[in-house]
Amino acid sequence: MRIFVPLPAFYILVIYGEIRGSSLLIKSILAAGLGALPLGILPDFFYSVLFLPLAYILARAVRNKHSVLRAGTTGAVILTSIWVIGAIFYGMVEQTHPYKQILATLDSSLDATFAVYQQSTDIAPDTLAQIELAFKRIRTIIPEIFPAILLITVLITVWINLLFGDLLLKRKDARLSPWQPYGQWRLPDHLVWLVVASGFFLMLPLPLLNKISLNCMLVMGVVYFFQGLAVLTSLFNKWNVPWAFRFFVYSLILIQAYGIIFISIAGLIDVWFDLRKSQNETT
């Protein structure tokens, strides 16, 4: 839930302005810090604070009328830089390697989860063997794709705050946000060549290049999922689909891996075939 931390801060900074909004945020942060101290959750508090710079980046993008793409790219770069610096500082203080520590924690969590399956008497031996094989594959692949997982976390954090922040501002006053409706959000067309190159290098018999390409493909898959969802939103707006049905479809997509893949492919196809056609969408 920490990915939502920048959202109220972003809203406050836009509504009240940077000076007054910052004053309110500082008071709130101090109050939260004082509350975290006796509860013994100060490290969690500091970790949450690392998300707040994104709110300032997005608020300034709104004030300076930057495009969604520029705001999102800047936010992702700055947030990644802050997390890297924070990880380095944490490693120096705790005399540990944060990256390896997270991987070790994930591995031990998988061990503990599989132990629960082993203790269950309701699972047939054949099924348990299949589960064990699946866990072994997961434990092998996670270290390979962990860089992509971290970057995807950053991208999802930025995307969610851009999307919901824009919706909140437009709900308050449509003039507050300079950004187009989500159904019109687009990626640069030339970005598709990064997908093509990653797919090509993934087929070459070069292990290191394969690993880099795999991580790149996963990240680009998420990026084009954002565009594919924009395509779907545009079509829903065009057909005046009721919100209840939209919510059902969005929920179904997010809980089904095949749905996410399909939407990512739709976002990729939109580069060559304009699936949205009309550029005059206003809702």
Q: Is the pLDDT of residue 279 over 70?
A: no
- The token pair at 243 is 């919100």
pLDDT at 210 over 50: yes
For 35-88, the pLDDT digits (tens) are: 998 988 988 898 899 999 999 999 999 999 999 999 999 999 999 999 999 889
What confidence tens digit (pLDDT) does each residue in 3-40 have? 999 999 999 999 999 999 999 999 999 999 999 989 88
Return the structure tokens found at 275: 């699936």
**Cβ-Cβ contacts under 8 Å for 281 (sequence gap 6 or more):** 181, 183, 184, 234, 237, 238
- Average per-residue pLDDT in the chain? 92
- What's the Cα-to-Cα distance from 83 to each of 2, 40, 50, 80, rounded to whole Å? 13, 22, 7, 5
Query: What digits encode the pLDDT tens for the residues 229-257?
Result: 999 999 999 999 999 999 999 999 988 88
Q: Using an 8 Å Cβ cutoff, are 230 and 183 in contact?
A: yes
Q: How many CB atoms lie within 10 A of CB 76?
A: 18
Q: Over the stretch 123-156, which tens digit does the pLDDT of each residue have?
A: 888 888 999 999 999 999 999 999 999 999 999 9
Per-residue pLDDT averaged across 96-113, rounded? 90
pTM: 0.91
